[in-house]
Amino acid sequence: MKDFIELKDFTADQLAGLMERAIADKQLYREGKLSPTLARKCLAMIFEKPSLRTRVSFESAMVHLGGHGLYLTQADIGLGTREAVQDVARVLGRLCDGIMARTFSHDMVRQLGEHSPAPVINALTDYSHPCQAMADLMTAQEHFGELEGRSLAFIGDGNNVARSLAVACAKFGMQFVLASPAQFRLEQAFEDSMASYAYRWTESPADAVADADIVYTDTWVSMGQEDEKQSRRQTFAGYQINAELMSAAPAHAVVMHCLPAYRGYEITDDVFEAHAETIMEEAENRLHFQRTLLNALIGEGGIA
Ligand code: CP
Ligand code: NVA
């Protein structure tokens, strides 16, 4: 597999293998023993949306491996406006050794993958955020020691992060529960695709967290939805992760957040701080997972 666009494109064994290597590579990094396997390689990093973690983790990962990350905003390249997506893909795929893209349209990343001779990585679209979900489950694997049979409750908006986590949980033998207002559950076609897995939707956050090992949330207002901020904040008001909701969860449950967090909205300051160690480990694991991913895609020519 040349690209990393959707988790469903990979087998459970492929994803588990990547995660195992990422955990081992994290240790090598800490010991200062990583090899410069991507020396003289360049990753084009396309951003149509803002980013802290994704940009910095990919750019740092390329430096750790002896290569370079080239930051390209939409204002620089005009993906699909100044130049057709397939032409950008073909040119960047010749000038660089890999392309990482954060776009609004999911189809745009698919088109990049279709036309670029170099590997393409989905760094978040309106539809999904697979690198995030892998770093999150890597964090859970390190915390609990195993993933199979664990349960993740996602509280809030049925969004890109929720979708990728649902697929990741299915791949790792975990249960996934989304608690959201009815109009913000994941679309029917997606729910149908999850029918043979331990996937569940509920309107009740307390119901969702009752058996949860991981209580997860993300912003109620994703990038591109800023015009809906006020109405979303009203609709999701009952979906906050706070001390009261956490009292309905098992005592051992950890809280995760992909960040950026909007304290006082989807999560209270006290719950965030009580679980900050786990949340920051998630953020750090973006670096470790993606560095392993870059090695597999660029250094080794694909995910075995
Ligand atoms: N979680 C995440 O993708 O963060 P950024 O938007 O800052 O990259
Ligand atoms: N759902 C959020 C995730 C941010 C990392 C967004 O798309 O803005």
Domains of the chain: 7-128+286-299 (3.40.50.1370), 132-282 (3.40.50.1370)
pTM of the model: 0.98
Tell me which residue has tokens 């393409």.
120
Q: What percent of the chain has pLDDT over 70?
A: 100
Confidence band of 34 (pLDDT split at 50, 70, 90): very high
CA of 121 to the centre of ligand 1 (A): 15
- Which of 105, 160, 259 to mutate to test ligand 2, by most ligand atoms within 8 A of the CB atom? 160
CA 197 – CA 176 distance, rounded (Å):
9
For the CA of 223, the nearest atom of ligand 1: 6
Nearest ligand to residue 125 Cα: 2
At 181 the three-state DSSP class reads coil
Q: Read off the pLDDT of residues 72-125 as tens digits, 9 standing for 90 and up.
A: 999 999 999 999 999 999 999 999 999 999 999 999 999 999 999 999 999 999
* Whether residue 37 has pLDDT greater than 90: yes
* Confidence band of 199 (pLDDT split at 50, 70, 90): very high
The pLDDT, as a whole number, for residue 1 is 86
Which pLDDT does position 212 carry in this prediction? Answer: 98
Average of per-residue pLDDT across 44-62: 98
Which among 156, 140, 281 is positioned nearest to 217, based on CA atoms? 156
d(CA 172, CA 13): 9
In the residue annotation, 218 being an active-site residue is answered as yes
**Which residue among 259, 262, 286, 290 is best mutated to probe the pocket of ligand 1, counting the most ligand atoms within 8 A of its Cβ?**
259
Q: What is the pLDDT of residue 61?
A: 98
pLDDT of residue 304: 87
Q: Is 66 exposed, middle or buried (0-12, 13-18, 19+ CB in 10 A)?
A: middle
Tell me which residue has tokens 């392309």.
99
pLDDT in the model for residue 230: 98
Which ligand lies nearest to the CA atom of residue 135 in the structure? Answer: 1
CA of 53 relative to ligand 1 center, distance in Å: 5
Question: pLDDT, tens digit, for every residue of 139-194?
Answer: 999 999 999 999 999 999 999 999 999 999 999 999 999 999 999 999 999 999 99
Please give the Cα distance from 274 to 136 (Å, whole number). Answer: 18
Eight-class DSSP state of 296: I
The Å distance, Cα 275 to ligand 1 centre, comes to 18
pLDDT tens string 285-296: 999 999 999 999
- Residue range 239-266: mean pLDDT, rounded: 98
Q: What pLDDT digit, counting tens, does each position of 125-147 carry?
A: 999 999 999 999 999 999 999 99
SS3 label, residue 10: coil
Residue 128 DSSP code: -
Atom 4, ligand 1: residue with shortest CA distance: 53
**5: buried, middle or exposed (CB in 10 Å: 19+, 13-18, 0-12)?**
buried
Question: What mean pLDDT do residues 4-20 have?
Answer: 98
| 124 C-beta closer than 6 A to ligand 1 | yes
- Per-residue pLDDT at 62: 98
State residue 100's pLDDT score. 98
The binding-site residues of ligand 2, defined as CB within 6 angstroms of any ligand atom, are 124, 159-161, 218-219, 222-223, 258
143 has catalytic annotation? no
